[in-house]
Structure 1
Amino acid sequence: MKIFKIIAVVLLIAFVGIQFLPKQINQSQTTSKADFLVVNKVPANIKNNLQTSCYDCHSNNSRYPWYNKIQPAAMFLANHVKDGKKELNFSEWDSLSVRQKKSKLKAIVNQIRDDEMPLNSYTIIHRDAKFTKAEKQEMIEWMAQKRDSL
């Protein structure tokens, strides 16, 4: 029984100790002129779905849940956003070449169609980020049309 107390105390000290690690926040005070929503004439419903379902991980301005203030959740979220932005950053959309934009739009269409995005791990907590069938079809059609118009 004594060993369990020692383990519990060590874990508690470690948990409290990691709370002092700095938290990486992905929040910009301004919207970039290269942002996807600024550069493109995006219908309101598509814009809302992008901001709700995509922008937290794929832009320079994430909306963080309450648990982002607690480590190790903050580290997990920071890595998740970093990986998402490495793959696609809507805030830097206009810095991409036409070829890159077409490739990204094709990937967006495929991932939404195949239910790979938004991630299930994200929609478990953010229920409003999950696309309805109609929203999914609308998003796929708009993104494909955008890709074809480039």
Structure 2
Amino acid sequence: MKILKKILLVLLVAFLLIQFYRPEKNSAEYRDVVSFETETKPTPEIKTILENNCYDCHSNRTEYPWYAEIAPVSFVIADHVEEGNEHFNVSKWDSYSLKKKDHKLEELIEEVEEGEMPENGYALVHGKMTQEEKEALLNWAKKARENYAVGDDIQ
């Protein structure tokens, strides 16, 4: 029993100490999605879907929930946001070539169709997209891809 108490004490101390180390946050001045929305022309309904399901991990500004301040959750969230931005960042839309924009929208379609996006953990906390929302998002993305059908090489 003594060894169990020592292990629990060490774990408690480690948990408390890790609270003092914070991962870097994705917190630009504002969420710059104007270029993306101007080009892809989402309806107000689609904008709401994007805001509720995509922009936290796929833009330069994340709205962090209260529990993002508690390690180790803070590290998991930081990792998801960083990975999301590596794959697709609407705040960098202007820097993408036409072909890359087409490819990013194609990936969005594939990820939503396969149920990979939004991630299960995000959907668990923030709520899942309804089937109607998924269909609306997919229809919008497919229509938006038409603008990029002929483009240059992926950069």
The normalised TM-score by structure 1 is 0.91
Given that 1:56 and 1:81 are in contact with CA atoms closer than 8 Å, whether structure 2 keeps it comes out as yes
2:135 paired residue number: 137
CA distance in 1, matches of 2:66, 2:31: 23
Partner in structure 2 of residue 73 of structure 1: 73
Aligned match of 1:102: 102
Equivalent residues in 2 for 1:30-41, closer than 5 Å: 30-32=30-32, 35-41=35-41
- Answer with 30-39 or 42-51: which moved more: 30-39
CA contact (8 A) 1:112 1:118 kept: yes
CA distance in 1, matches of 2:124, 2:108: 20
Unaligned runs of 5+ in 1: none
Instruction: State the alpha-carbon separation in 2 of the partners of residues 109 and 97 from structure 1.
Output: 18
Offset of 1:102 from its aligned partner? 0.4
Q: Does 2:17 correspond to 1:17?
A: yes
Q: Cα distance, 1:30 vs. partner?
A: 2.5
Corresponding residue of 1:59: 59
Give the Å deviation of 1:112: 1.1
Instruction: Report the Cα distance in structure 2 between the residues aligned to 1:13 and 1:41, rounded to whole angstroms.
Output: 51
Match of 1:90 in 2: 90
Output the aligned Cα RMSD.
1.5
2:130 counterpart letter in structure 1: T
Deviation at 1:37, TM superposition (A): 2.4
Structure 2 segments unaligned to the other structure (5+ residues): 149-155
Measured in 1, the distance between the counterparts of 2:31 and 2:58 equals 13
SS at match of 1:142: helix
Q: Among all aligned residue pairs of Structure 1 and Structure 2, give the percentage whose two residues are the same amino acid.
A: 39
- Judge conservation of contact 1:36–1:91 (CA < 8 Å) in 2: yes
- 1:106 and 1:147 in contact (8 A); partners too: yes
Aligned residues between the structures = 148
Distance (whole Å) between structure 2 residues aligned to residue 30 and residue 124 of structure 1: 26
* Aligned residue type for 1:103: H
Q: Indicate the larger mover: 35-44 or 10-19.
A: 35-44
- 1:149 aligns with 147
**Partner Cα separation in structure 2 for residue 9 and residue 105 of structure 1:** 49
* One-letter code aligned to 1:77: I
